Structure 1
């Protein structure tokens, strides 16, 4: 899936020379936490977010460094912080080096960009022009659509079991040689053993995602590789048989 498939357009943006009061009102009215900032020609020049208004003189939250840090920082960074706390125009408080993508960027690359830079939104450009924005909310909506678009169920228990083991064989963490799956009328019973409790959870999630599976019963045991202690599943402890 690409950015063009999920991005929001048209974009609510603000010009760089607009007053910060307008930016704040827009964010509150539109219930968004950030705005792309553009020049009069519509070219992206930065992003302004709620975080840019956290350290403000008006609320008494401006950053006041201790004297020893003032000496280390020097006048430049202190002047920058002063502008951030007192600036009245968007251009004075915005983040200038905004991370961007184009419409053909894969969503996987967008997520990696968000995680790497700890950001919640990425402007979408066509050349220098702002044409959209992709946010975490856009990704959630794409996920909901994908969850509703369920793949066709496997036809019959044999096909379900074959699909389970194809999926397990494709995962490096899966202990395929030590587990088994019995399928009856779409209900899967897992048996065998794992050497890490996290494998148990992952196996159950994998099986639950196989089309046609109606329920999963966990009869697997966990063998601690250090002590050799065997621990049965919670389901088996609740319903011994």
Structure 2
């Protein structure tokens, strides 16, 4: 068993991650978040580089306006957050758990350089902590 302080993000992150392209419209993104049961997702450019993050909260106002006026939906690039909290695969589960215990996002993009390589969620962190606790 690994000591909790040695467990890294890469041990529990999702490598097969859903991401949204900045050129998608908000309705497509909202449907995708619903289908993938995610509260938010990383936004990438065509090269797979992390450039933002969009949450259900970010989409809500724009989707409400678009639905009310029956007009075309805005693109993700206009509603996404550009100040993104991300982690590296080598980061400690403890550090990420501490970050997530505050009001930070529930989903963190995992990046190497600028490339998106996965995501880690609060559920993933809980799984790591529960697995470690079971082995105490």
Q: TM-score, normalised by structure 2?
A: 0.82
Larger RCO, structure (CA 8 Å, separation 6 or more): 2
| Contact map agreement 1:87 1:93 (CA 8 A) in 2 | no
2:131 maps to which of 140, 145, 148:
145
2:88 maps to which of 81, 91, 102:
102
Q: Deviation above 3 Å: which 4+ runs of structure 1?
A: none
Report the alpha carbon displacement of residue 88 of structure 1 after superposing the two structures with TM: 1.0
The runs of 5 or more residues in structure 1 that have no matched partner are 61-85, 152-241
The structure number with the bigger radius of gyration is 1
| Contact map agreement 2:41 2:107 (CA 8 A) in 1 | no
Q: How many residues align?
A: 125
The answer to whether the aligner puts 1:49 opposite 2:55 as a matched pair is: yes
Report the alpha carbon displacement of residue 87 of structure 1 after superposing the two structures with TM: 5.8
The answer to whether the aligner puts 1:118 opposite 2:115 as a matched pair is: no
| Contact map agreement 2:27 2:73 (CA 8 A) in 1 | no
The answer to whether the aligner puts 1:91 opposite 2:69 as a matched pair is: no
Report the alpha carbon displacement of residue 147 of structure 1 after superposing the two structures with TM: 3.4
Report the alpha carbon displacement of residue 27 of structure 1 after superposing the two structures with TM: 0.8
| Contact map agreement 1:46 1:94 (CA 8 A) in 2 | yes
Report the alpha carbon displacement of residue 33 of structure 1 after superposing the two structures with TM: 1.1
RMSD: 1.9
Provide the rounded CA distance (Å) in 1 between the counterparts of 2:67 and 2:26. Answer: 14
Deviations 1:104-150 (A, max 9, x none): 1112221232345521111111111000111101012213322333x
| Contact map agreement 2:52 2:80 (CA 8 A) in 1 | yes
Q: TM-score, normalised by structure 1?
A: 0.48
Report the alpha carbon displacement of residue 93 of structure 1 after superposing the two structures with TM: 0.8
> For 1:175-190, what aligned pairs fall within 5 Å after superposition?
none
